[in-house]
A = this chain, B = another copy of it.
């Protein structure tokens, strides 16, 4: 039995808050829990917020801009981008410094204060590790931590939450070498465990307006350690670059 539930009663997070300590004191966590955190809360704690009034859009930002987009926001996106993968009408699909391919390099206005945008954490794996260590210290439990964002996908409509930062579990469950029910070796199966946990956690949110950024997923067996960078497809194996 797996249980998935949001942590209620968290305060609004502000820059400089110790998110790990706040989480550790908000709910009686158990060792083996996976603590799933929407990245915007982490980004706010880390001050990854930009006021658009301070941004001067470049020629490139103007060129990528669409009729309904703010060139200053495109400029912020380009600052977070190592490669523009696709663009159309103000929508920029970008590769981030972390190696993730996503809309707007993760830069988003929703749930941001007016006139500001929220960026992804600089190093979301490091953010996850720091929160995990704080929780261990404050609550004396060994949890895994997953930081999430909502990504669109090629070929399929709708977003799903995925892992952009991981600590305390191996984000890929490797079935290679195990046998199926017919005794046949499974040759190439790796399950993106951390992404499936991220998706499960998002099910507790009936809408973004509900604002419950921290979700506990309890009862999923996991082991090892790793980082969300392990979920990035290497260029030489990616048929869609």
Contact = CB atoms under 8 A, between A and B. Distances in A.
Contacts of A1: 3-5
Interface in A193-241: 193, 195-197, 199-200, 202-204, 206-209, 211, 217, 220-221, 230-234, 238-240
Contacts of A86: 239-240
Contacts of A206: 221
Interface stretch (A14-22, A121-129, A151-159): A151-159
A160 B221 CA distance: 16
A97 interface: no
A113 interface: yes
A53 interface: no
Interface in A1-36: 1-5
Contacts of A110: 180, 182, 184, 186, 189
A24 to B, nearest CB: 21
Could you say which interface size class chain A belongs to? 35 or more
Nearest to A196: B199
A172 interface: yes
Contact of A158 (B5, B182, B231): B231
Interface string A94-116: 00000011000000011111100
A209 B179 contact: yes
A111 B189 CA distance: 13
A58 interface: no
A175 interface: yes
Contacts of A186: 110, 208-209
Given A1-B4, A154-B154, A154-B155, 9 more contacts: A86-B239, A86-B240, A88-B239, A111-B182, A156-B162, A158-B172, A160-B191, A181-B208, A195-B199
Q: Lowest 7 CB-CB distances: which A-B pairs, in order? A: A158-B192, A200-B200, A154-B240, A199-B199, A196-B199, A101-B155, A2-B4
6 contacts: A93-B239, A153-B153, A156-B231, A159-B190, A178-B208, A186-B208
